[in-house]
Chain A
């Protein structure tokens, strides 16, 4: 499929909930291929920006394009290109749904009804589970999974339709350090071997982030973006995290709250 745009274009975007502006004057350009972290404290507008990118929230001002498509108006086209992983706590695992059902719907949602699992879908489900390494969990119910396993099942459900872009909202939250590193390894593998673009919000830089992503430093507006080593300077971090302190030449983030305007 010929895409009209080469990546993500966010130009002077404002978005709000009721009367509160969660992000203001946000401008970012990301050209494919990219592996990008949206970094900022809690309440900085990372989730809001993600919702704008996947078409869940209509900006009140500004221009957003994902591979040339308007995410709010051209959702049907973008649903085939974009895989979205919601915040772990926002999902409601039930005793009715198995991992294979979740992955099946990830594949079938972009198709027209009636949607049923035939041999082709079954093959796609297991190929996806194999990539993520959770084939053995196929028949487990979602309520029987750990936090890390649920995250992996979700990723399998999204990559099953081979999206161009994977957007993940705080995927590292509530995972232990080992699970975080495994997830980051997995995302890097998807980025490098399958060529998926990645946008992932996080409020932390874990010790296992041993490669250099593009970083978008955000606190209601974009403070800086570019390669990590250029963005993650003490000056920028002080701007993003108001209670940053320096001790013996080390920059330490002590609090995790956004600047309230």
Chain B
């Protein structure tokens, strides 16, 4: 029988909040048609996390989340500005992972060298550590979830309008660049809050796969579908990890992939 002790309950709250945050940001990226940004960001996420762990180990007071937020934000802005300077998008997309790969390797080397716990810290960055979540992490996670959902509530129409045609939105009076930056900031914020729970590897699956599922199956897409999917993936994934005693991010990944495959099959069977 499954016993939800304090640690497991903390983990459950963390995956619920994380699932809601990831599905919200997946919704933002999907309605603003910037899933490609998510792809680029996630390439840089490993570097951001390892660099964050290294800086946290060296300084002892700069939290990993801050580095992840700043690094992700910097990379998003870099991509946006390079594209605006008419540098071909595929060149830009190639630059970001290359730079990030160098930083990831350097940070990993530094982490292993300076800290006796370097290897385990690096591994926890990769696959998350939901059972080591602290009350502070939960508060941060809750604050980020509320922030991202508030952004959606406040700017849903604007993001859809800009995505429909940025030039039309600009001529109509919207500050298009500011809204793109808002998307980057909320994505970076979400990543910084959820990496500790889910790890960098599964973050890709949690942002992109529910979006793919929604776009494949639903004719009309809204936030409720995304939030439901977020919970449908994260909670059973967490419970499965406890029941089978396997890594949480691994079980969440399996559920996420299964849901996406079911979406594909549904679309095929519905003949769309």
- Please give 14 more A-B residue pairs, beta carbons under 8 A apart, in addition to A94-B163, A105-B172, A113-B155: A18-B86, A75-B170, A76-B173, A79-B172, A84-B168, A84-B171, A84-B172, A86-B168, A91-B164, A92-B163, A94-B160, A95-B219, A109-B161, A109-B172
Q: In the complex, what's the smallest C-beta–C-beta distance from A102 to chain B, in angstroms? A: 7
> Which residue of the partner chain A has the closest CB to B214?
A95
Given known A-B contacts A79-B173, A82-B171, A115 and B218 have beta carbons under 8 A apart: no
**A85 and B215 alpha carbons, distance in the complex (Å):** 27
Which size bracket describes the interface of A in this complex? 35 or more
Whether A108 contacts B157 by the Cβ 8 Å rule is yes
Whether B157 contacts A105 by the Cβ 8 Å rule is yes
- Cβ-neighbour of B168 out of A55, A91, A108, A144 (below 8 A): A91
Contact bitstring A104-120, B, C-beta under 8 A = 1, else 0 = 11101110011101000
Contact bitstring B25-58, A, C-beta under 8 A = 1, else 0 = 0000011010000000000000000000000000
Contact bitstring A70-88, B, C-beta under 8 A = 1, else 0 = 0000011001101011100
- Cβ-neighbour of B165 out of A55, A90, A113 (below 8 A): A90
Whether B167 contacts A95 by the Cβ 8 Å rule is no
What is the interface of chain A, defined by CB distance below 8 A to chain B? Answer: 18, 54-56, 75-76, 79-80, 82, 84-86, 90-97, 101-102, 104-106, 108-110, 113-115, 117, 141-144, 154
Query: Cβ of A85: which chain B residues have Cβ within 8 Å of it?
Result: 168
A-B pairs with beta carbons under 8 Å apart, 30 shown: A18-B86, A54-B171, A56-B167, A56-B170, A75-B173, A76-B173, A79-B172, A79-B173, A84-B167, A86-B165, A86-B168, A90-B167, A91-B168, A92-B33, A94-B31, A96-B160, A96-B220, A96-B221, A97-B164, A104-B157, A108-B157, A109-B173, A110-B173, A113-B154, A113-B158, A117-B157, A141-B219, A141-B220, A143-B219, A154-B168
The 3 closest A-B pairs by CB, nearest first: A79-B173, A109-B172, A105-B161
- Cβ-neighbour of B222 out of A54, A96, A117 (below 8 A): A96
Residue of A55, A79, A80 with most chain B CB atoms under a 10 A cut-off: A79
Query: Cβ of A82: which chain B residues have Cβ within 8 Å of it?
Result: 171
Query: Cβ of A84: which chain B residues have Cβ within 8 Å of it?
Result: 167-168, 171-172
Q: In the complex, what's the smallest C-beta–C-beta distance from B172 to chain A, in angstroms? A: 4
**A154 and B218 alpha carbons, distance in the complex (Å):** 24
Answer yes or no: B257 CB below 8 A from chain A CBs: no
Query: Cβ of B93: which chain A residues have Cβ within 8 Å of it?
Result: none
Q: In the complex, what's the smallest C-beta–C-beta distance from B17 to chain A, in angstroms? A: 24
